[in-house]
């Protein structure tokens, strides 16, 4: 034990004497730990953790394809598409938003979503308390309702089960809380992020007939026995009809993404994190080269970057010094001489 303590003291003293080498070593260790943590988090999200909805193989995303780009849906196209086709059911739309809560305690800004009434049925997720939206709550004057996340329910309202039916102020509008989603529920695989509340999506005003503003992420579920090919054929027919009824609009086409959106976003997350890690690695290498050059300019040849410093045990140094009949010098023993 005494030997271990002496070695640790020696190592600490050497690190203090070489601050440049110490900084590079710490950065390298930090990058290694961060990379391992990142890889595990991605593997956990993609391979180990369940997808955020039941039967994800039937969940598809629908988008508009144009000659030079792909885009989300417009309000008008979504309304023309309707709630279901022969192959698809619970066709739902959503868009991300931001709201301010000003009831009761401190004002709080939260991430939110505007969703159509069949958004939660499309995900096949039921609330922990209360209910989700009814079809008629997509209409003006009936939309003053809100569903909140479990995290917001616990954080701001103390998990009060009597909150259902009460009114909270959301961005200056009084909305009745009708439901609380289960713990861990995430709808952010459509628009990545964590959301705390959901309110009805209204297609009113000028946006109702707007075919240029591609704001909506649209999802649906394949009906039992239906295939992606059948759904694509039906959507092509629907879009041809929409184009015929709206001449002069860009030539769009409806496509179906048969891969789970959660997997798509997880893969995008892998790419983004690997790119971020690569940038950090290159930055670390640049820092290391700069520190190494500074040490060489100062005449310090004891340890240079890229040439590991040989380990010298203070006990071994003392033994060699004793055999030579001398005392352990301050430099050789790292300041542990008697």
Contact predicate 181/131, CB 8 Å: no
- Block residue for tokens 């009761």: 104
Predicted local distance difference test score (pLDDT) of residue 134 = 94
Confidence of residue 200 (pLDDT cuts 50, 70, 90): very high
- pLDDT score, position 300: 43
For residues 69-77, give the mean pLDDT: 80
Helix, strand, coil content of the chain in percent (nearest 5) = 45, 20, 35
Averaged pLDDT for residues 46-72: 72
Residue 213 counted as domain residue: yes
Domain that holds residue 176: 56-259
Is residue 332 one of the residues assigned to a domain? no
pLDDT at 268 over 60: no
Mean pLDDT of 208-237: 85
Asked if residue 301 and residue 208 are part of one domain, the reply reads no
User: Does residue 334 lie in a domain region?
Assistant: no
Do 26 and 87 belong together in one domain? no
Residues 108 and 212 in one domain: yes
**Per-residue model confidence as pLDDT tens digits over 208-220:** 777 777 888 888 9
Final residue in a domain of this structure, among 259, 290, 312: 259
- Residue 197 pairs in a beta bridge with 112, 148
Tokens for 227, please give them: 């295939």
How far is CA 140 from each of CA 68, 171, 216, 225, rounded to the nearest angstrom?
Answer: 36, 17, 19, 36
pLDDT for 44: 62
* Residues 93 and 148 placed together within one structural domain of the fold: yes
Is 170 within 8 Å of 99 (Cβ atoms)?
yes
Query: Among residues of the chain, what percentage have pLDDT more than 90?
Result: 24
Question: How far is C-alpha 257 from the geometric centre of its chain's CA atoms?
Answer: 20
In a shared domain, residues 274 and 249: no
Q: Kindly indicate the confidence band of residue 141, based on its pLDDT and cuts at 50, 70 and 90.
A: confident
Write down the pLDDT at residue 334: 33
d(CA 154, CA 126): 18
Note the pLDDT of residue 314: 47
Question: What is the number of residues in the chain?
Answer: 338
Same domain, 13 and 102: no
Is residue 299 included in any domain, yes or no? yes
Per-residue model confidence as pLDDT tens digits over 101-137? 988 678 999 999 999 999 999 988 999 999 999 999 9
User: Do the domain assignments include residue 330?
Assistant: no
- The arithmetic mean of pLDDT across residues 319-334, rounded, is 41
In the predicted structure, residue 24 carries a pLDDT above the cut 90: no
Query: What's the CA gap between 186 and 23, in Å, rounded?
Result: 40
Number of domains in the chain: 2
pLDDT for the residue numbered 10: 83
At 29, is the pLDDT very low, low, confident or very high (cuts 50, 70, 90)? Answer: confident
Regarding whether 40 and 135 lie in a shared domain, the answer is no
State whether 61 and 43 are in the same domain: no
Is the pTM for the entire model greater than 0.75?
Answer: no
């Amino acid at each position: 034990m005494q030997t271990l303590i002496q070695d640790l003291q020696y190592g600490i003293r050497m690190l203090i004497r070489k601050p440049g080498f110490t900084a590079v070593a710490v950065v390298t260790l930090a990058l290694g730990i961060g990379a391992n943590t990142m890889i595990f988090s991605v593997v956990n999200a993609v391979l180990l953790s369940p997808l955020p909805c039941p039967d994800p193989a039937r969940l598809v995303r629908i988008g508009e394809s144009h000659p030079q780009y792909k885009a989300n849906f417009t309000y008008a196209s979504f309304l023309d598409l309707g709630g279901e086709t022969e192959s698809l059911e619970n066709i739902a739309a959503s868009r991300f938003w931001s709201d301010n809560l000003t009831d009761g305690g401190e004002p709080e800004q939260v991430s939110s979503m505007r969703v159509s009434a069949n958004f939660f049925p499309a995900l096949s997720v039921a609330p922990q308390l209360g209910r989700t939206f009814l079809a008629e709550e997509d209409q003006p004057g009936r939309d003053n309702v809100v569903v909140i996340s479990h995290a917001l329910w616990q954080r701001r309202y103390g998990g009060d089960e009597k909150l259902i039916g009460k009114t909270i102020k959301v961005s200056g509008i009084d909305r009745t809380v009708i439901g609380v989603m289960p713990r861990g529920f995430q709808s952010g695989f459509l628009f990545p992020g964590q959301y705390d509340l959901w309110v009805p999506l209204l297609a009113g005003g000028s946006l109702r007939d707007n075919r240029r503003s591609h704001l909506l992420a649209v999802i649906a579920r394949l009906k039992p026995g239906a295939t992606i090919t059948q759904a694509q054929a039906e959507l092509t027919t629907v879009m041809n009809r929409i184009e015929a009824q709206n001449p002069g609009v860009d030539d769009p086409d409806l496509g179906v993404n048969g891969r789970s959106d959660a997997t798509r976003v997880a893969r995008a997350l892998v790419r983004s994190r690997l790119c971020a890690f690569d940038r950090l690695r290159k930055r670390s290498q640049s820092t290391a080269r700069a520190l190494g050059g500074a040490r060489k300019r100062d005449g310090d040849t004891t340890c240079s970057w890229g040439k590991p410093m040989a380990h010298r045990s203070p006990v071994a140094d003392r033994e060699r010094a004793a055999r030579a009949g001398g005392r352990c010098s301050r430099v050789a023993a790292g300041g542990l001489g008697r």
